[in-house]
Amino acid sequence: MKAPLSLILFFSFILSVQSQEINPDIKKWTLRECVDYAIENNISVKQSENNIALAEVDKRAAIGNFIPNLNFNSSAAWNSGLTTDVTTGVLINQTTQTTSGGLSSGVAIYRGLRNQNELRRAELSILASQYQLDKMKDDISLFVINGYLEVLFSKEAVNVAIPQVEITQEQLERTRQLVEAGTLPRGDLLDVEATLANDEQNLIITQNRVRLAKISLAQLLQLEDFDNFDIANEEIETLPLINLPEYSVDMIYEKALETRNEIKVAQTNIEIAESDVKLAKGAMQPTLSGFYNWNSRYSDRDRVIGSAIDPDNPTVVIGQVETTGDNVISPNFGPVLGPADDFFSQINDNKGSAFGLSLQIPILNGFNASNNVRRAKINFDQQKYQLEQEELDLEKIIHQVYTDAVGALKLYDATKRSLEAREVSFEYAQERFDVGVLNSFDYSQIKNRLVTANSDFLRAKYDFIFRVKLLEYYYGIPVDNL
């Protein structure tokens, strides 16, 4: 007798799955590995880490405001044409090379406490960015946990479906023997064959769910090799870390207010807004700064080294005698020039410095300072409203999560009792069918109810696990411990 086509396809599918399971080249990812990999390779996480790095740069800039600045300047120039001779003060046509340089330093003595407030704001920005990053990592971890549980659920559904096929195959052989012996009608054999086809179809569907669940998890991890991705068959603890009857919604909400990162971000943003108000007010206060400048220069022009009577014009009339009208004559001395001093000597001789204080008092600036204060105050109020909204949203979410967890627990208990009852009912039906008391149609109906009860129980089990883990997450239990 030739085997049915569905049976051939079924066994070929089983063999392919088994060969994949025993393939040593396929890495078996644990939940911890999945979570760590997802966090490490997530683009949004990397962007948040860059935001922290930028906040660190802002803090470094704020610290720099307390440190005096120091700058060096230098210039070299060649002047050609009618220029003032720096040695004689006379306008002449000449080409002069000059070099000048200097140091300047300044320090803010008082800026309306803006330096302190800018540093405080930068530190708060780092803290807010870190809270935001932690929240993002927790959210990603929850997505991965949910996807991981979905794969485990699908695999367990396959493990439940395989024995059902095996039982129906054994029943098919037993029914065939009874039909051939004339004990049962041929219609019962056809009913069992239809049941086997339905069980095989259900197994293939559940196996496809495993693949789809693994693909979904692999995409969440941003992996591309779906065929070689699989998870380890870890045992997930069904008992929660918290006992639901012992915890009220208010208790969980109060704990969440202390631990949730979105609340910490909102609280930190209020402090940042408060710092912005102080910074805006500081801009309306006087600014006192200290400065110090040092400079010197070098020129290649000849220098005056003395004086002598001009041989071309030895005398000069400096006046007249009032009574006689005679000219008053004086020797005409002219400068004696020598070569320019060396570079370092001129730098030393021509050096000069200046220092002092600079006071700036804002009086009228087009209402910019006062408008900035108003904007900062409005933003401060906005951040307080944002915190209130975050608290309201958190309370709403916790009520929903708690209600879902309680409902999931009740459904889990109900489906568990239903499954136990269906198992007993099926055992009894199996015994009656084996002795020919129960027909194949009724037997198939009871068996289908058992399959449905198994499926309902598995779905309720993993839904209960995730709901309670989610509640534990909001209660403040670290994701690493979930």
Q: What are the pLDDT digits (tens) for 378-401?
A: 999 999 999 999 999 999 999 998
Residue 85, Cβ neighbours under 10 Å: how many?
A: 15
Asked whether residue 352 is assigned to any structural domain, the reply reads: no
Domain containing 464 — which CATH number?
1.20.1600.10
List the chain residues with pLDDT less than 70.
1-25, 84-91, 234-245, 302-304, 306, 338, 479-482
How many Cα atoms occupy the beta-carbon half-sphere of 316 within 13 Å? Answer: 10
Asked whether residue 3 is assigned to any structural domain, the reply reads: no
Between strands 27-29 and 69-84, the pairing is unpaired
- Looking up tokens 């870890």, which residue turns up? 234
Q: What are the pLDDT digits (tens) for 306-339?
A: 677 877 787 877 777 777 777 778 787 777 776 7
Asked whether residue 279 is assigned to any structural domain, the reply reads: yes
Total number of domains in the chain: 1
Q: What are the pLDDT digits (tens) for 110-120?
A: 988 999 999 99
Asked whether residue 470 is assigned to any structural domain, the reply reads: yes
With a CB cutoff of 8 Å and minimum separation 6, the contacts of 146 are 466
Q: Are the C-beta atoms of 102 and 72 separated by less than 8 Å? A: yes
Q: Give the 3-state secondary structure percentages of the chain, helix then strand then coil, rounded to 5.
A: 60, 20, 20
Asked whether residue 116 is assigned to any structural domain, the reply reads: yes
Determine which helix (DSSP H) or strand (DSSP E) holds 324, and give its type and residue range: none
Residue 266 is predicted with a pLDDT of 95
Asked whether residue 417 is assigned to any structural domain, the reply reads: yes
Residue 244 is predicted with a pLDDT of 67
Domain that holds residue 476: 27-65+111-286+368-481
Single pTM value for the model: 0.75
* Closest by CA position to 244, among listed 458, 464, 482, 476: 464
- Looking up tokens 């994949």, which residue turns up? 20
- CA pair distance 236, 464, nearest whole angstrom: 12
- Sign, CA dihedral 473-475-480-482, equals negative
Asked whether residue 133 is assigned to any structural domain, the reply reads: yes
Asked whether residue 94 is assigned to any structural domain, the reply reads: no
Residue 90 is predicted with a pLDDT of 66
Residue 216 is predicted with a pLDDT of 92
